[in-house]
Amino acid sequence: MKVAITDGKGNLWIEEVPIPQINDYQCLCKILACATCTGTDIKIIEGRMFWLKDYPVMLGHESVGKVIKKGKKVKYINEEDLFLRPCAVYPGEKSGDFYSAIGGFAEYGLILDTKAFKEDNPEKDINSYSIYQQKISLDILPPEATMLITLKETSSFLFNIGVKLNSSVAILGSGPVGMALCYFSKILGSNPVIAIGRNKNTLNYIKKLGADYIIITEDENIEKTIKEITKDKGMDFIIDTTGNKKFVLSLITSLSEKGKICPYASYENEDVFKEYKEDKRFMLTNPEEPLANDYIHRMINLNCLTPSVFYSKILPFSEIKHGFELLKRKEEFKIVFTMEE
């Protein structure tokens, strides 16, 4: 099968590797589409993710696949079921010469029947990644289905930090994660929601998704503008998606009296905000993607959420190198690659 490989030195290519073999509790999926997680994927390609040391790796984690083969002890998954995050190789494992950066950019991938496995093996641990491999119970096209991952991550993050009606929220960064955070902040009733970034085009797009204000970092004094917008109250939440610690710290003075800095991005160093763990102005938490699965399904079924607005282009898998070049040049903000030409 074909899979996307990177060496962590900026190179990205497609390689032929064996189709993964299932065990008794696994299913083989035909991967239909996989989306870019722009910040994380590019950092992996450039070798800038602290947790990833071994290269070359199979890339991609925002995948959608259809079950085509079941292990003999699988009980709760059926052929033709659609699942999120099938992977060519699980984290911590290796396939041939290649390590795991999940391997969602591939023609085939594995999922685990976690319920059946735990019933039969209560004393054994599962690979922690398998909890994210959740069934899609929607009539939805594969490119749109890949967006469920970002939508679950961002909505659950906002729930965790306590965003609510009339919270004032500033989002640092104008990429697809920033877009989703702005959108869900407005869904939760936040006011005002401010999108802050460098790319004027994507910021204007975010404004159409619901941001009340946009601030272009190179053109405006951010602290002064926030002060004017909030009438000197400051922000209840400042959420960072840029991964730029210095930028985040520069905005502490823009918090309200009980406001919180909430780092979200994939940072290049472990515990980058370690010294602020006891600082009440910081809230260090993570998304809980699995918990938001039913919520996002309901939002889509109620026509409250249109996944296609969160990606900008669809390309065939054969053009993956070109696609990432478009992302680096910021000509696109999120690309879905379809595995079939």
Q: What is the pLDDT along the chain (341 residues), one digit of tens a residue?
A: 999 999 999 999 999 999 999 999 999 999 999 999 988 999 999 999 988 999 999 999 999 999 999 999 999 999 999 999 999 999 999 999 999 999 999 999 999 999 999 999 999 999 999 999 999 999 999 999 999 999 999 999 999 999 999 999 999 999 999 999 999 999 999 999 999 999 999 999 999 999 999 999 988 899 999 999 999 999 999 999 999 999 999 999 999 999 999 999 988 777 889 899 899 999 999 999 999 999 999 999 999 999 999 999 999 999 999 999 999 999 999 999 999 76
Tokens of 20: 């993964």
Question: Distance between CA atoms of 312 and 308, rounded to whole angstroms?
Answer: 8
Dihedral Cα 297, 42, 170, 258, nearest 10 deg: 90
Question: Distance between CA atoms of 273 and 195, rounded to whole angstroms?
Answer: 22
Check if the beta carbon of residue 198 is closer than 8 Å to that of residue 216: yes
Inter-CA distances, 204 with 179, 196, 207, Å? 11, 11, 5
Is the alpha carbon torsion for 93, 98, 102, 108 positive or negative? negative
DSSP conformational letter for 282: B
Question: Distance between CA atoms of 256 and 260, rounded to whole angstroms?
Answer: 8
121: CB partners within 8 A, 6+ apart: none
Inter-CA distances, 105 with 37, 102, 159, 161, 335, Å? 11, 9, 30, 32, 12
Rounded to two decimals, the pTM is: 0.95
Q: What domains appear along the chain, each with residue ranges and CATH number?
A: 2-136+311-338 (3.90.180.10), 150-289 (3.40.50.720)
Amino acid at 302: L
232: CB partners within 8 A, 6+ apart: none
